[in-house]
């Protein structure tokens, strides 16, 4: 039961990404954010994308994935990639500071430790940023998405009211730009 629920979330997550890929092929000046669960996914569009284009993109993404385009399930701006990047950069900086603190035999992190460790910490973070992107994409493809929809079926696509979280992402992704308003959709699946 749990493994089937996880599988549905992974397939819905892949369909969410595929939808964003299809929209990106036709529209350039928009941002998108979504989240998936075992019943489907929410998709938030920030910009001037017609409702019919969103409906068409979901259907086209579904057809293309069913036709074998499994690679559409992976997206470079997925939260998995962002989380991997943030985690690796944080660990790189913390490790560098801890090693410098140990080298100096200081009981606590002070300005001297930070000043001496800063160039190495910056280098470690840059290396982590470079390595984390392909690692995050690998983790996404292996664990958080699935490009094989198998028996997954589209049930419905509906425009819904943007939630407070959607409004927050609008502020973060667009700087609250008035020409990039938020539109929210709920896509339901089964199978």
With a CB cutoff of 8 Å and minimum separation 6, the contacts of 47 are: 27, 29, 30, 31, 174, 179, 180, 181
pLDDT tens by residue, 50-107: 999 999 999 999 999 999 999 999 999 999 999 999 999 999 999 999 999 999 999 9
CATH (residue range 2-75+145-190): 3.30.980
Tokens representing residue 127 in the block: 């290396």
Q: What are the boundaries of each domain within the chain?
A: 2-75+145-190, 79-144
C-alpha torsion sign, points 103, 105, 107, 113: negative
Tokens representing residue 183 in the block: 């539109």
pTM of the model: 0.91
Integer CA distances (angstroms), 164 to 3, 77, 103, 169, 178, in order: 31, 22, 48, 9, 17
What does the alpha-carbon distance between residue 16 and residue 101 come to, in Å, rounded to a whole number?
45
With cut-offs at 50, 70 and 90, classify the pLDDT of residue 180.
confident
Chain-centroid distance of CA 89 in Å reads 17
């Amino acid at each position: 039961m749990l493994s089937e629920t996880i599988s549905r979330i992974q397939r819905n997550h892949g369909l969410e990404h595929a939808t964003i890929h299809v929209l990106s092929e036709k529209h350039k000046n928009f941002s998108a954010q979504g989240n998936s669960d075992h019943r489907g996914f929410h998709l938030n569009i920030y910009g001037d994308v017609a409702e019919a284009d969103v409906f068409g993109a979901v259907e086209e993404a579904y057809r293309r994935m069913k036709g074998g385009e499994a690679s559409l399930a992976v997206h470079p701006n997925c939260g998995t990639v962002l989380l991997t990047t943030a985690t690796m950069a944080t660990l790189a900086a913390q490790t560098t500071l801890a090693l410098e603190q140990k080298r100096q035999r200081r009981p606590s992190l002070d300005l001297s430790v930070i000043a001496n460790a800063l160039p190495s910490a910056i280098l470690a973070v840059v290396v982590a940023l470079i390595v984390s992107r392909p690692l995050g994409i690998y983790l996404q493809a292996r664990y958080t998405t699935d490009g094989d929809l198998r028996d997954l079926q589209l049930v419905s696509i509906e425009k819904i009211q943007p939630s407070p979280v959607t409004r927050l992402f609008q502020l973060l992704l667009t700087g609250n730009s008035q020409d990039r308003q938020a539109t929210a959709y709920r896509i339901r699946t089964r199978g």
